[in-house]
Amino acid sequence: MTSMTMESGHSQRQVLPEVVFLENISKRFGSTQAARNVSLRFKGGEVHAVLGENGAGKSTIGKILGGLVQPDDGRIVLDGKETRLRSVAEARGRGIAMVFQELSLVPDLTVRENIYLGTEIARHPFSLLRRQAEEDRCRRLFEEYNFAFDLNAWTRSLSVANQQLIEVVKALASDPRVLILDEPTAMLGVHENEKLMGIIRSARRQGTAIIFITHHVEEVVEAADRVSLMKDGALVESFLKTDDIDATCIVGKLVGKSRSKGAGKQAPSLGNEALAIRNLPGPQDRCADLTIAAGQVVGLYGVVGSGCERIGQGVVGLADLRPSAMTLAGRPYRPGSPAQAARAGVSYLPSGRAANCVLPSRSTRENLMISQLDQIQTCGIMRKGVERQLTQSLLARYRTRYASYEDPITSLSGGNQQKVMIARCLGRASKLIVLEDPTAGVDIGAKRDIHELVRDRAASGLGILLVSSDLLETIAICDVIYTVIRGQIVRKYEHPTIGDEPSIVADVLGG
Amino acid sequence: MEDRNAETARLRQPWRRRLKRLNFSELIMPGFILVYSSIIALIEPRFLSWGNLDNLAGQIAPLLVMSVGQAFTIISGGLDLSMAAVMSLSGVVGILLVPLVGPWGAICVMAVFGLLVGLVTGYIIAYQKTSPFIVTLGMASVATAIALILAHGVPIYTVPPELTAAIGFGHFLGLPVSFEIAIAMLLLGAFLLRRTVFGRYVYAIGSNKSATLRSGVNVSLYTMLVYGFAGFSTGVASIVLTSWVGAAQPVAEPDMTLKSIAAAVLGGIALNGGSGGMVHVLYGCIVLGALSNSLTLVGVSSFYQILAVGIVIIVAVMLDRVRRREIF
């Protein structure tokens, strides 16, 4: 990783011009205070890393600056003048470009068309596209950033990692003065990561202010000139990254005093084997086994695209894990669908709440009961009284706050919706639970609750498989962690602690 | 906690719950029906005469029966474009089999035949992972062709007089039997939707299919059952229509498919699925039926009637948009 370290600019650092000043920015989403009196200065030619756990408010800061979200309070000062950024277009007009966490390229257009989408050289609805001019400018752009790609390749034919890079180049095509990167490395492999660092270096040399939002400490160490740490929506500390600051030091500042003790791991009293997956691809073409005992929380950790989601999905019948074989409580187990998995006593909380969990047009009660119906029906006819009782008891047990469970679930806050989903999933299982990102996008209080509920459920004798993209969470609640890269199990960590973080990170990045 | 118990105690009373859920958009359709009927009654008092209402009830019965099934497909997030064609085919098949099974056997044949065709369509949609739009469009062609082949391209007039007398024009307790069949279908639909696991899953699939699949529901099976039920209602519609017309036509009322979709959406069922109920089907059918009935009474030419129906449907879809503006 040291090979990729940025050439240190601190020694010849001249006074850099301040481009943006955020003053006392606050933003609330429903019951979540996403940003609380945050003041930050961003300078031209400086890579400014904003680091924090999921839900720390760092993306909110990026979105406010990118014009996607309006702050409730505070000022944005651009070049010494107070400004309001009411839309992404307005922000872009002021020279602020943002690369979003989610891919936003059109797969059916070519690379060149995507780079100029919305900023075509000819702008009237029926004017002809100036292909040649666009191509020339693209070439120059690519040269500038030392980046090689077939301009006329279909975007869909590129890997996700390369699409992500093109997204960055697209943002740079408008010569922005401020470039916001929100978790840009989530989908990148080592090779693409190096390319991204190269692009960032070039942009920095040209005097662009770069805001690098991430929760990967090692990237900060590698790329940043200045580091700001955020937690629970507030700024913890902002400091220059001098050479003596390393990953452990930053992690210490960020998490040292803040370990949530709520989800403390009990001394594991292990029961029988709940799930075993044999012959998973392991290191150096050997095979690895994964076992989960009843009462145990086992985590799979890898970067997005590492294939650990696929293992989780295989356990619930959404992916085919062959040639690996599974046994559930000692019996052979090969589910073909989540319905079959559910019948075998395995329940599933998918990631992506809006896309894969919530039934938006239905009530909280129906959302919760959708996977408990076998308990409340006779011959296919529902028993309403039993249903209401079960709804109430589950909502109470999973500490959900609601006005009426007959209201649409969308009237609940994100954290409470997630608790309903947790209740839906945990309330049903009899042998094993597969959780994907159980606390994505929830506030810190709900997160702590969810961690406790998961531990409690494990203590009641179930096996739990956690697939989370949040390493700190994985370390906090798992008894065992398996690291995954390119679909292969790298290593197994028993009773992981925060001290294992550097080693885990090295595993999943292939370092 | 105290509050919550009080709240649930109140919610337990069905009428209170119903009342609480009533909001303005739920009152648009019944309000519109009342206002429209009053205006027409002022122009043409015969509109509200018992004779005309009886006639109106008979007129909307086939559409009502079909719309019950269509509503299920729409609530589940799909649609069925083959309904009118399958209705014609099951009518033809049923009447052709009268010599074998008798008049009452024939109506069973029609219902069961509709159900079977629906299950086949549903199987192709659910298990072959195909789009309902294309599959049912193809099925419409297939069914029409088979009906034309079986009937040699002409209507079959050998409908047993018992059926015409009992179902087509019969009355029971003062109401047309065909209308009573339609109401029975509505009640059956409402029961399935509100009280059974099947109904719950229909809403869930329409609301978010991916989430329903991942929460352990056998989405394919229930999707197939939805089209099976739609097919069943098509079969029942063919009983009502055949008895009323007195003939099994190989191409009977081809625009009824689109009318059933229009009725559902007009009544307030979300076109992208996940919400709505049988009461909305009733509203939609009454509006469409009352519209053409009243315009005929007032003496508007049938060309203008078609125009009026078209405009009402377009306005209804725009209303659907407004109702859901919070979603975009």
Q: Cα A48 from chain centroid?
A: 20
Q: Out of B17, B207, B216, name the one closest to residue A360 (CB).
A: B207
d(C-alpha A325, C-alpha A277), whole Å? 6
- Give phi and psi for A376, each to the nearest 5: -120, 20
Whether residues A237 and A289 fall in one domain: no
Residues of A in contact with B210 (CB under 8 A): 355-356
CATH number at residue B97: 1.10.3470
Whether residues A402 and A330 fall in one domain: yes
Q: What is the pLDDT of residue A142?
A: 85
Whether residues A317 and A399 fall in one domain: yes
CATH number at residue A311: 3.40.50.300
The answer to whether residue A503 sits within a structural domain is yes
Whether residues A241 and A283 fall in one domain: no
Whether residues A347 and A492 fall in one domain: yes
d(C-alpha B301, C-alpha B290), whole Å? 15
Q: What is the pLDDT of residue A4?
A: 41
Whether residues A230 and A192 fall in one domain: yes
- Over residues B158-173, the mean pLDDT reads 88
Whether residues A338 and A248 fall in one domain: no
CB contact under 8 A, B216 and A424: no
Q: What is the pLDDT of residue A2?
A: 39
Q: What is the pLDDT of residue A273?
A: 85
Q: Both tokens of residue B121?
A: 């369509």
3-state DSSP of B205-243: HHHCHHHHHHCCCCHHHHHHHHHHHHHHHHHHHHHHHHH
The answer to whether residue A312 sits within a structural domain is yes
The answer to whether residue B30 sits within a structural domain is no
d(C-alpha B258, C-alpha B261), whole Å? 5
d(C-alpha B134, C-alpha B78), whole Å? 11
The answer to whether residue A169 sits within a structural domain is no
d(C-alpha A55, C-alpha A446), whole Å? 11
- Over residues B295-300, the mean pLDDT reads 88
Q: Out of A339, A357, A361, name the one closest to residue B217 (CB).
A: A339
Instruction: Please tell me which residue of chain B has the smallest CA distance to A316.
Output: B214
Question: Mean pLDDT by 10-residue block, N- to C-terminus, for chain A (511 residues)?
Answer: 42 70 86 83 91 75 88 89 86 86 79 79 68 84 81 83 86 88 75 84 90 79 86 84 78 57 51 85 81 91 81 91 86 91 92 88 92 85 90 88 86 85 87 90 79 90 89 88 86 86 76 54
Residues of A with CB under 8 A from a CB of B: 316, 318, 337-339, 341-343, 347-348, 350, 355-362, 366, 369-371, 373, 377, 380-382, 384, 388, 392, 403-404, 406, 424-425, 428
Task: Yes or no: say if B42 and B95 are a contact pair by the CB < 8 Å rule.
Answer: no
- Give phi and psi for B281, each to the nearest 5: -60, -45
DSSP secondary structure of A41-68: EEETT-EEEEE--TTSSHHHHHHHHTTS
Q: What is the pLDDT of residue B12?
A: 54
Per the listing, tokens 């900060």 go with A220
The answer to whether residue A350 sits within a structural domain is yes
Whether residues A319 and A209 fall in one domain: no
Alpha carbon distances (Å) from A223 to A63, A101, A194, A203, A235 = 21, 18, 11, 12, 20
pLDDT in tens, B102-153: 999 999 999 999 999 999 999 999 999 899 999 999 999 999 999 999 999 9
Instruction: Please tell me which residue of chain B has the smallest CA distance to A377.
Output: B197
Q: What number is the ipTM of this complex?
A: 0.80
Which value, in Å, is the radius of gyration of the alpha carbons in chain B? Answer: 20
Per the listing, tokens 């009733």 go with B282
Better-scored residue on pLDDT, B248 or A247: B248
Quote the domain boundaries for residue B276.
51-293+303-323
> Which DSSP helix (H) or strand (E) runs through B245?
helix B219-245
- Give phi and psi for B5, each to the nearest 5: -65, -40
Amino acid type, B119: L
Residues of A in contact with B217 (CB under 8 A): 338-339, 370-371
Q: What is the pLDDT of residue B21?
A: 55
Amino acid type, B157: Y
- Give phi and psi for B102, each to the nearest 5: 80, 170
The answer to whether residue B34 sits within a structural domain is no
CA angle B141, B146, B150 (to 5 degrees): 150
Q: What is the pLDDT of residue A243?
A: 79
Using the 3D structure, point to which of A192, A225, A255 is the last residue of a domain. A255
Q: Out of B7, B17, B270, name the one closest to residue A361 (CB).
A: B270
How many structural domains comprise chain B?
1
pLDDT in tens, B69-85: 999 999 999 999 999 99
Whether residues A45 and A80 fall in one domain: yes
Quote the domain boundaries for residue A194.
2-105+177-255
Q: What is the pLDDT of residue B23?
A: 62
- Over residues B195-212, the mean pLDDT reads 93
Mutate to test the interface with A, among B4, B214, B324, B326 (most CBs of A within 10 A): B214
Percent of chain B with pLDDT over 70: 90
Whether residues A238 and A314 fall in one domain: no
Q: What is the pLDDT of residue A263?
A: 45
Whether residues A436 and A294 fall in one domain: yes
Neighbours of A35 (CB within 10 A): 31
The answer to whether residue B250 sits within a structural domain is yes
CB contact under 8 A, B200 and A342: no
The answer to whether residue A162 sits within a structural domain is no
pLDDT score of B326 more than 50: no
CB contact under 8 A, A404 and B11: yes
How many structural domains comprise chain A?
2
The answer to whether residue B246 sits within a structural domain is yes
The answer to whether residue A89 sits within a structural domain is yes
The answer to whether residue A455 sits within a structural domain is yes
Q: What is the pLDDT of residue B133?
A: 94
Whether residues A249 and A292 fall in one domain: no
pLDDT score of B4 more than 60: no
A200-227 exposure pattern, b = at least 16 Cβ within 10 A, e = fewer: bbebbeeebbbbbbbbbbbbbbbbbbbb
The answer to whether residue A129 sits within a structural domain is no
The answer to whether residue B16 sits within a structural domain is no
The answer to whether residue B41 sits within a structural domain is no
pLDDT score of B239 more than 60: yes
Least Cα separation, residue B270 to chain A (angstroms): 10
Q: Both tokens of residue B130?
A: 């195909």
